[in-house]
Amino acid sequence: MNRRQLLLTLCAAATLAGAPAAHADALANIMKNGSLRVAVPQDFPPFGSVGADLKPVGYDIDTAKLIASRLGVTVELVPVTSANRIAYLQTNKVDLVISSMGKNAEREKVIDFTDAYAPFFNGVFGPASIKAAKAADLSGKTIGVTRGAVEDIELSKIAPADATIKRYEDNNGTISAFLSNQVQLIATGNVVAAAILARNPPKKPETKFLIKDSPCFIGLNKGESALQAKVNAILADAKKDGSLNTISRKWLGSDLPAGL
Amino acid sequence: MAYRFDFASIADYTPVLAKGLGVTVELIAFGAVAGVAIGIAAAWARTEGPRWLRPCITTYVELIRNTPFLIQLFFIFFGLPALGVQLGEMQAACLAMAVNLGAYSAEIIRAGIAATPRGQYEAGASLAMTRLEVFRHIVLKPALARIWPALSSQIVIVMLGSAVCSQIAAEDLSFAANFIQSRNFRAFEVYIVTTVIYLLLAIVLRQLLRLLGQHLFRRAPR
């Protein structure tokens, strides 16, 4: 090994050793700066949208505030889109991504996730008077769905033959059909059901059963195990003491599902 | 052209298209008969009927002719349940088509009636016929014969307009096309096939109405 090679090797080693050091420990940094930088959506109600005072509001924003307050630091909200939220994390512009993000294998290659913090699913919804705990219970019932949506495709597979599926052009048609009693139940996303509940209609869409479950997770950089453990502990506490449930009731109009 | 046509992917859905075609035929059969019946009644009421009824008919005709069919359909399907009138999508679609065609055909038939020479009324009166008898036996048939081509066109227009009934989940031909398109994403193939079916349906309907006209008004004076 000549000198030049040795120098290159040393440089490479220094770079490798130095890379994590430059990140330092995200949790320690947050505590030192006294502020938690969180990527939040501003175009996806009820998770994140711009309120009347032009400040971001929503489920994700309240979760960010909850975590910051339990850490004892201030929160700095960074509006992102679903396309650039992971890039914000990777370039260290934010500490956490709380942006109604689902977990999948591709994302897990580049970032880590905490435990789930929000429910996100397609399911069958209907008034309390109708019992339907599983797909077989739809027998003889009329279910409205938006044509071509994921829930249409899935429900068409699992619904019994004598269930009537009415397919509408868009979500508004499906909602109108449900509210005007043209269908007994609807299959849709929990966010859509929350939007209906928010209008406080006489016929309330309560969750009957889930068709496809894809809860939201908080994203953080790889290797930040201290921050990950801390956020997980906060989430576990918040689930236990009901403060996360309060956020769910406020924005989604319903309690957190038992399995979250 | 880079697009590869795949009409075979539609073949699997032939029963869906067939069912849709059946529903469209059902809609137009009911809509045409009920609509023309409403049209005749409304035309009578507007020309011969009691004075108090005329403004009501005018309101009906103007209301329907000056609002979109889609809105009329939504009002019946989504709006009426608030008043306690719950109609299924087929009932709502049939009602909407009948009411819509009724208003248009009322105006068309009224034009035919208005073209009746005065002497015909006088001839009826001189035979001691009542006004209703004059209308039934002397006025109506020649009036219908005069406007039959226009009425046929209106029926075809309403048949084509029935496509919007798919918006309230009535499973007609358009619904079948949209449904297949949402499953196999073969928009071009699906809609070209549907277009051809609608075209054939319109041609057949027009010919049927022409034959019906020939049969009904064989010896009617022009």
d(CA B160, CA B174): 10
Per-residue pLDDT of A112-140, as tens digits, reads 999 999 999 999 999 999 999 999 999 99
List the beta bridge partners of residue A121: A213
The residues that bridge with A102 in the sheet, in sequence order, are A216
Task: Check whether A155 has a pLDDT greater than 60.
Answer: yes
Residues pairing with A96 in the sheet:
A38
Which residues have C-beta within 8 Å of that of residue A118, sequence separation ≥ 6?
Answer: A47, A59, A60, A63, A100, A215, A216, A248, A252, A260
Q: Tell me the per-residue pLDDT of A186-240, one tens digit each, with 9 for 90 and over.
A: 999 998 998 888 888 889 999 999 998 989 999 999 999 999 999 999 999 999 9
Q: Give A166 to chain B, closest Cα distance, Å.
A: 6
Of A148, A166, A177, the CB nearest to B182: A148
In angstroms, the CA B20 to CA A164 distance is: 16
pLDDT band with cut points at 50, 70 and 90 for residue A19: very low
Query: How far is the C-alpha of A119 from the C-alpha of A191, rounded, in Å?
Result: 9
Query: Chain-wide mean pLDDT for chain A?
Result: 88
**B166 interface with A at CB cutoff 8 Å:** yes
Mean pLDDT of chain B: 92
Please indicate whether, in this complex, the C-beta atoms of B167 and A173 are within 8 angstroms of each other. yes
**B69-102 pLDDT tens trace:** 999 999 999 999 989 899 999 999 999 999 999 9
Mean pLDDT of B187-214: 95
What backbone phi and psi angles, to 5 degrees, belong to A23?
Answer: -65, -30
Tens digit of each residue's pLDDT (9 = 90 or more) over A55-109: 899 999 999 999 999 999 999 999 998 889 999 999 999 999 999 899 988 899 9
Whether residues B169 and A177 touch (CB distance < 8 A) is answered with: yes
Q: CB neighbours of B65 closer than 8 A, spacing ≥ 6?
A: B103, B104, B107
pLDDT recorded at residue A13:
55
- What share of chain B in percent tops pLDDT 70? 98
Tell me the average pLDDT across A51-56: 87
| Spatial distance between the Cα atoms of B107 and B103, rounded to a whole number of angstroms | 7
Give the Cα separation of B67 and A134 in Å (integer): 43
> Could you give the ipTM of this predicted complex?
0.75
Please, which residues 55-94 of chain B have a Cβ atom closer than 8 Å to chain A?
A: 74, 77-79, 81-82, 86, 88-89
Asked if the Cβ–Cβ distance from A182 to B182 is below 8 Å, we say: no
Of B78, B86, B181, the CB nearest to A176: B78
Q: Among A142, A167, A171, A184, which would you mutate to test the B interface (most chain B Cβ atoms within 10 Å of its Cβ)?
A: A167
pLDDT average, residue stretch A156-178: 92
CB contact, 8 Å: A202 with chain B? no
Query: Which pair of tokens denotes residue A18?
Result: 């130095």
pLDDT at residue number A258: 80
Interatomic CA distance for residues B110 and B46, integer angstroms: 8
Whole-angstrom Cα distance, residue A170 to residue A64?
A: 32
Whether pLDDT at B189 is above 70: yes
H helix or E strand, kind and range, residue A115: strand A112-118
Residue A21: predicted pLDDT? 42
Which tokens go with A68? 């910051």
Contact A158, A211 (CB under 8 A): yes
Tokens of A111: 């970032």
Asked if B175's CB is within 8 angstroms of A173's CB, the reply is no
A155/B contact by beta carbon, under 8 A: no
Paired residues of A38 in beta bridges: A77, A96
Top pLDDT among A16 and A38 is at: A38
- Chain B: nearest CA to A148, how far in angstroms? 5
pLDDT tens figures, B131-174: 889 998 899 999 999 999 999 999 999 999 999 999 999 999 99
Coil/strand/helix, residue B212: helix
- Do B78 and A180 touch, CB atoms closer than 8 A? yes
Phi-psi region of A150 (alpha: psi -120 to 50; beta: other; left: phi over 0): alpha
Residues of chain A with C-beta less than 8 angstroms from the C-beta of B86: 181-182
* Both tokens assigned to B219: 């010896």
Strands A96-102 and A35-41, sheet pairing: parallel
3-state secondary structure of B88: coil
The pLDDT value given to residue A54: 86
Long-range contacts of B43-49 (CB under 8 A, 24+ apart): B43/B105, B43/B106, B43/B107, B43/B109, B43/B110, B43/B113, B44/B135, B44/B140, B46/B106, B46/B110, B47/B110, B47/B113, B47/B114, B48/B131, B48/B132, B48/B135
Domains and CATH numbers, chain B: 10-216 (1.10.3720.10)
- pTM summary value: 0.76
Query: Which residues in A lie closer than 8 A to residue B175 (C-beta atoms)?
Result: 167
Question: What's the pLDDT score for residue B8?
Answer: 85
Q: Residue A6 pLDDT more than 70?
A: no
